[in-house]
Amino acid sequence: MEIGLIAVFLCEGILIIFGFYLIWSWINQTPFYPSKTKPLNDLLKELNITGNINFIDIGSGDGRIVRWAAKQGFNADGIEFNPFLTLYSRSVITLKGLRNRAKIFNKDFRNHDFSKYDFAYLYIFPEHMDSVSNKLFSEMKKGSVVVTNTFKFTKLTPDRIFGKYYIYYVK
């Protein structure tokens, strides 16, 4: 087969997968827009978070925050219900050799057990955050930290604000 033909098939395949992904996100009303990792480094210094940390990105998108957390030395989990983003995240984690520290669960985060986490991160619309807040704050350990990017939980007051991050301590 000619190289040109293979390229056309590949492009078509990518377009079809992307089309399915768009329809899926549209039906679930959960668009993917990624966080920047650089300001998170400043946040870590500010919060003085070090050591053997169990981290979770709730709604992990393409997995970049999970990979960032794994590179900090955290045990990093992500939960993502979009199968295309899950496949992509898992592939990059494997390619970058981070499988010993980073893991993606393909499920709805409202069905996840949060009891082992010290640090949770969310960057999603408030209505989606609110749908998990009771479960999250009752399951996470006392003293653990929940950070939201840009959006706040509508029924909770943040303990601290650092730039665009809202910081909540589990009491």
Ligand X SMILES: C[S@@+](CC[C@H](N)C(=O)[O-])C[C@H]1O[C@@H](n2cnc3c(N)ncnc32)[C@H](O)[C@@H]1O
Judged by the rule CB under 6 A, the positions of this chain that interact with ligand X are 30, 32-35, 57, 59-61, 64-65, 79-82, 85, 108-110, 123-124, 128
Shortest separation between residue 60's beta carbon and ligand X, angstroms:
5
Shortest separation between residue 121's beta carbon and ligand X, angstroms:
7
Residue among 12 and 31 whose Cβ is closer to ligand X = 31
Residue among 38 and 171 whose Cβ is closer to ligand X = 38
Residue among 80 and 118 whose Cβ is closer to ligand X = 80
Tokens of 16: 């079809």
Phi, psi of 153 (to 5 degrees): -70, 135
Shortest separation between residue 156's beta carbon and ligand X, angstroms:
18
Residue among 77 and 118 whose Cβ is closer to ligand X = 77
106: nearest Cα among 119, 88, 124, 128: 88
**Nearest residue to ligand X, scored by beta-carbon proximity:** 59
Residue among 2 and 85 whose Cβ is closer to ligand X = 85
Shortest separation between residue 106's beta carbon and ligand X, angstroms:
9
CA distance 147 to 167: 5
Buried b or exposed e, range 87-109, using 16+ CB within 10 angstroms:
ebbbebbeeeebeebbbbbeeeb
Shortest separation between residue 24's beta carbon and ligand X, angstroms:
9
Taking a C-beta distance cutoff of 8 angstroms, is the pair 62, 86 a contact?
Answer: no
DSSP 122-151: E-S-HHHHHHHHHHHHHHSPTT-EEEEES-
Question: Could you tell me which residues come within 8 angstroms of residue 87 by beta carbon, excluding any fewer than 6 positions away?
Answer: none
